[in-house]
Amino acid sequence: MTLTTPRFADLYFGKSDSKNELSGGRDDFVRSFVDLNRITDAVVSGEKTLVLGPKGTGKSALAWYLHESQHGNNYLCVVRDASELPLADIPRLDTGQPAGTDRTVSAWKFILLCNYLSLLLEDQSCDLPNRAEVTRVTRLLRQYGLLGDTTGRAILNVSNTTIEIPIPKLGTVYRRESRSKLNIFSLLPYLEEWAANARSGNRHLLMLDGLDSIFLNDEKYDESLASLVQAAYSINQRLANTGATGTIVLLLRNDVFNRVSLTLPDSQKMRDDFSVELDWRVLSGAAGANAPLIRLVNGKAAKALEVERVDVLDYFPKNIELHGKSHRTINRLQYLLNFTRHTPRDLLRLLDAIRDVEASQIFPASQHQLRQDVIREGVLQYATRYFPGAIRNEFAGYEFGPDEASKALDTLQTLQRQRFDRAAFASQLETLGVTEATVVNRLLKLLFFAGAIGNEVQIRGGSYMQFYHRRDDAQLYLHGSFILHNALCHAWNIPFSA
């Protein structure tokens, strides 16, 4: 490795989406991945099967890193994108049972086991006692469109029809059954048995990603997601009890799990025993410079350039000058974090925007440390080009449509103030034709969980700001004061306190 300190313009901060980063350069993506607290080991071993964290904390990056690193290691990994599945229609999949929670759990178990068995078949060293039978059944399922990228379309096509799988005329299923066809519910015990009895020197990971795009307040999705969590938990218990070779890993937002956990009898056991949280939150004060989030930034920049060590904060003056006549300054780390939601994606995009400005040579070249005007211009570019879009992306799949979500952001922008209360928000929203109190509350909650606004919480002797991404147990307090995120203020030219 070189000992030369790289220029800030040459540092690497990745891309917004791990899949885009991967397609742009696999080696850079794998080399620059930072493994928080060796989470990869816990996931590969089967110790952890539930990866939790707000959007932008690296859940997808973890999945795709494991997928891309499997060659030459002792595991096989496949990543499925749940956003391509019609989640609201899965409860309608007729398994041969009466409609209800049990049927939805069975539908999910069927989908998960089909994909898991397909993964086992890719492992030529896997001892699958019924391999020929498994191969025939999975081939039939693939023909039905129930395996791989066409699963979503298949579910839509058959959601009102009972699926019946023809039984191959040999093997254990044929010997045990008196019927020539089986519905999903009758086939499930065989799928579970085949998965449980597989043996291999390799581990097998089926990872389900894409659940971040599911909005927070949709009852149709809630039933389906709760059943998905229960189905995966049930399968993993069976696999663990029989000493099987793999696990099903779900990547979920904290708030989504917290919400659906109300209907899950074993939710606390799942969280205590099998979950791991991608927690990048930064401590206040000097200790923040050694926080996991900063170690991630340093590690990503160093690994990509193959240098021994990079301390990104050293490129910044210790204090950043704020605009205004007072010439007030603020600690560099606090300044940067105040424009983010304390997530890896936000901070990496902010640093990349500053890097782009430095590399553009619009300003005179920085010497040992970045120029103040370069930093401020980079922050402005990040605030205007990235942050509002990132907030809008949080609303994907919103139950009440993009128009209502757009009105929430329009209202914030036209308020033209950083601090406001519910009454001010409701009054401005009324000018856009929204008057119902329940809608006002729903939109404030939407904005809070997206990280667009925070609560001002009063405590004895003062107050503090509470943002969801900085405390995952935070809840919106509708009767208090709200504060608009600094990055949105900067983007919309609203005066704010940095």
Give the H or E element holding residue 119: helix 101-122
Please write the tens of the pLDDT for every residue from 179-217.
656 788 888 998 999 999 999 999 999 999 988 665 545
Distances, alpha carbon 334 to alpha carbons 35, 288, 374, 383, in Å: 24, 9, 17, 16
Region 43-68: mean pLDDT is 93
The pLDDT of residue 193 is 92
- Tell me the pLDDT band of 445, cut-offs 50, 70 and 90: confident
pLDDT value at 326 more than 90: no
* Greatest mean pLDDT among 190-194, 307-311, 474-478, 489-493: 489-493
Which of the four pLDDT bands, split at 50, 70 and 90, describes residue 352? very high
- The pLDDT, as a whole number, for residue 1 is 42
* pLDDT for residue 34: 84
pLDDT tens, 484-494?
Answer: 999 999 999 99
C-alpha 229, offset from chain centre: 15
Residues 132-148 pLDDT 10s? 888 877 777 666 655 55
Question: Per-residue confidence at 301, pLDDT binned at 50, 70, 90?
Answer: confident
pLDDT at 472 over 60: no
Structure tokens at 133: 């039978």
Q: Classify 431 as helix, strand or coil.
A: coil
Per-residue pLDDT, averaged over 164-179, amounts to 58
User: Does residue 405 surpass a pLDDT of 50?
Assistant: yes
Cα-Cα-Cα-Cα torsion 441, 447, 452, 458, nearest 10 degrees, comes to 30
pLDDT at 282 over 50: yes
pLDDT 10s digits, 7-41: 999 999 988 888 888 887 788 888 888 888 899 99
**Inter-residue contact 495 to 486 (CB < 8 Å):** no
Long-range contacts of 413-419 (CB under 8 A, 24+ apart): 413/488, 413/492, 413/494, 415/484, 416/492, 416/494, 417/484, 417/494, 417/495, 418/483, 418/484, 418/489, 418/494, 418/495, 418/496, 418/497, 419/456, 419/481, 419/482, 419/483, 419/484
**Which pLDDT does position 162 carry in this prediction?**
59
Compare 134 and 354 and report the one with higher pLDDT.
354
In this structure, the chain runs to a length of 498
Look at 129-143, 341-355, 375-389 and tell me which has the smallest mean pLDDT: 129-143
Assign 453 a pLDDT band (cuts: 50, 70, 90).
very high
Q: What domains, with CATH codes, occur in the chain?
A: 33-277 (no CATH), 286-385 (no CATH), 399-491 (1.10.10)
Tens of pLDDT, residue by residue over 145-159, are 555 555 555 555 555
